[in-house]
Amino acid sequence: MIGFWAFEQLGYVIEKAKQYCFPNYIPLVFRKNCSAQVLKANMRIVGCCEYGLVLYRDRLPKFRNTDPDGTRHMVMNCFDWKKDTKTPKVHPTQKPVPLLERLIEVFTDPGDVVIDPVAGSGTTLLAAENLGRKAYGFEIKKDFCREFHEKIEPCVQQSLFTV
* 132 dihedral zone (left: phi>0; alpha: psi -120 to 50; beta): left
Helix, strand or coil, per DSSP, at residue 41: coil
Checking if the pLDDT of 160 tops 70, the result is no
pLDDT tens, residue by residue, 34-61: 766 555 556 667 778 899 999 999 988 8
**Residue that wins the pLDDT comparison between 66 and 50:** 50
Are 103 and 113 in contact by the 8 Å Cβ rule? The answer is no
Are 91 and 120 in contact by the 8 Å Cβ rule? The answer is yes
pLDDT (0 to 100) of residue 162: 43
pLDDT tens, residue by residue, 8-33: 999 999 999 999 999 999 999 999 88
Question: How confident is residue 159, by pLDDT bands cut at 50, 70 and 90?
Answer: very low
Mean pLDDT of the region 138-156: 83
Q: pTM for the whole thing?
A: 0.82
Closest C-alpha among 98, 97, 89, 107 to residue 144 = 89
pLDDT (0 to 100) of residue 25: 95
Question: How confident is residue 4, by pLDDT bands cut at 50, 70 and 90?
Answer: very high
pLDDT (0 to 100) of residue 38: 58
Closest C-alpha among 57, 17, 50 to residue 34 = 50
